[in-house]
Amino acid sequence: MVAVGQNKVGQCDISSWRGIVAIAVGSSHTIGLKSDGTVVAVGSNKYGQCNVSGWSDIVEIAAGCAHIIGLRSDGTVVAVGDNEYGQCDISSWHNIQFPGN
């Protein structure tokens, strides 16, 4: 993996990542979905948007300005980060499927 651009808070520090099958970026953080269903994140963690160390069985990821959302293989969704405008309010989401799943 390589990344370019402003690296003011370490959001481009991904050279050691291996086994990445998908990436997403926010304003100052980068996340990677690993082939084993776990997620890694670097960069600003001001709102807890990089707190993904316990995530598993993830099949899709998405990032917003300061939040991250993950879709698990069972259709449940997890989210971390800034929730000022409800962007992490996923409690009512059920059996979400992305195209190709």
* Token pair listed for 6: 């402003």
The strand pairing partners of 31, in sequence order, are 24, 41
pLDDT of residue 95: 65
- The residue-averaged pLDDT of 25-29 equals 96
Q: Contact 76/88 with Cβ under 8 angstroms? A: no
Q: How confident is the model at residue 92 (pLDDT cuts 50, 70, 90)?
A: confident
pTM: 0.88
Q: Contact 33/19 with Cβ under 8 angstroms? A: no
Report the topology of domain 1-101.
Answer: Methylamine Dehydrogenase; Chain H (2.130.10)
Helix boundaries (H) for 1-101: none
